[in-house]
């Protein structure tokens, strides 16, 4: 079996244009989706980090009440 390039894209707000997010080369769709899930978790963690994570500077994030 040969490796295939998989690309993840998202439609922008106008639902016409797309934005290229990531791409990977994998031997199967299953492995590509596993890789993409890991990337999605990484993106989510970067966009909404735990305020107590070691890499976040002190007082950089504050709870909203």
1 has pLDDT over 70 = no
> How confident is the model over 27-61, as pLDDT tens digits?
888 888 888 888 888 888 777 777 777 887 887 87
Domain residue ranges of the chain, discontinuous segments joined by +: 1-65
Residue 61, judged by CB atoms within 10 A of its CB (0-12, 13-18, 19+), counts as: middle
Out of 8-17, 21-30, 47-56, pick the least confident. Answer: 8-17
Which comes out higher in pLDDT, residue 16 or 34? 34
CB atoms within 10 A of CB 32: 20
The Cα–Cα gap between 55 and 51 comes to 9
């Amino acid at each position: 079996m040969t490796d295939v390039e998989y690309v993840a894209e998202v439609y922008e707000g106008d639902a016409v244009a797309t934005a290229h997010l990531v791409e990977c080369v994998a031997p199967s769709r299953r492995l590509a989706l596993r890789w993409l899930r890991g990337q999605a978790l990484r993106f989510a963690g970067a966009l909404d980090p735990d305020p107590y994570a070691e890499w976040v500077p002190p007082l950089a994030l504050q709870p909203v009440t």
